Structures are given as C-alpha cells and as structure tokens.
Amino acid sequence: MFRDFKRGGYNMEINRVNDNRLISLILLIYLSYSLSTFYRTKR
C-alpha cells in the first residue's frame, strides 16, 4: 500500500534533464564501463 503513494521512475521533467545532458551522461557511463572492462581483461 505504501508503494501506491510513492513515485516510480526518474522524474526527468522535474529534474530538468534535457536531451543533450542525457546523451552526455549515457556516453560517459558507456565510456567508463568500456574502459574498465578493457583494463580488467588486459591484466
């Protein structure tokens, strides 16, 4: 019942996330994940 009163999701309208910032964040996450995976398999 408590879950019915909570919001689910990221509320991007309230957080004022625009397209460019969202794409930049996704690219940064992708780049850091790729680099960490590359260095882990190299060792």
Q: Which tens digits make up the pLDDT trace of 1-43?
A: 566 667 777 777 777 778 898 899 999 999 999 999 998 876 6
CA distances from 5 to 1, 9, 20 (A): 7, 13, 31
User: For residue 30, what pLDDT is reported?
Assistant: 97
What residues contact residue 10 under an 8 Å CB cut-off, 6+ apart? 17
pLDDT for the residue numbered 26? 94
